[in-house]
């Protein structure tokens, strides 16, 4: 299964689910984009760089490959949770806001585009799920000239 045919295609397909936040200056030579959104700081593999993002407000499609995802058990509180694990993976709980073949957009403090390789559960829009991603998370920066270096 292929998750994307190009960075531009993936960014365009999921642009409506971009997280809004703040990009911080990248360390020279680092492929990681430091992005704060939803009260969390995420280190994202910069899929549009290197050095494509200027520090400041930004919209970024945050994409993770799933280690696991499944329905939240009955009786579990329906609140959004998101915890950062290690340098570039997350786990949490949230509501499915879009469902495509093998990919779900989950609102968990910020919108996350989450994809699974292989067998995946049947999840519908509105379902509450618990999930954990593999590192690294990927970041697809949206924006025009205001986000590109001069």
Taking residues 32-43, report their average pLDDT: 95
pLDDT value at residue 30: 79
Please give, one letter per residue, the 3-state secondary structure of the chain: CCCCCCHHHHHHHHHHHCEEEEECCCCCCCCEEEEEECCEEEEEEECCCCCCCCCEEEEEEEEEEEEEEEECCCCCCCCCEEEEECCCEEEEEEEEEEEECCEEEEECCCEEEEECCCCCCCCCCCCEEEEEEEEEEEEEEECCHHHCCC
**Structural domain spans, the chain:** 7-142
In tens, the pLDDT along 63-122 reads 999 999 999 999 999 999 999 999 899 999 999 999 988 899 999 999 999 999 888 888
pTM of the model: 0.90
């Amino acid at each position: 299964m292929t998750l994307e045919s190009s960075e531009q295609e993936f960014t365009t397909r999921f642009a409506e689910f971009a997280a809004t936040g703040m990009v911080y200056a990248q360390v020279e030579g680092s492929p990681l984009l430091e992005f704060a959104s939803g009260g969390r700081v995420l280190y994202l593999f910069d899929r549009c760089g290197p050095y494509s993002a200027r520090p400041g407000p930004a919209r970024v499609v945050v994409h993770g490959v799933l280690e696991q995802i499944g329905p939240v058990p009955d009786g579990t509180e329906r609140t959004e949770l998101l915890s950062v694990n290690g340098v570039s993976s997350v786990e949490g709980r949230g509501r499915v806001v879009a469902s495509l073949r093998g990919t779900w957009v989950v609102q968990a403090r910020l919108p996350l585009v989450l994809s699974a390789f292989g067998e995946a559960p049947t999840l519908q829009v509105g379902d509450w799920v618990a999930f954990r991603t593999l590192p690294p998370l990927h970041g697809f920066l949206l924006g025009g000239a205001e986000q590109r270096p001069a």
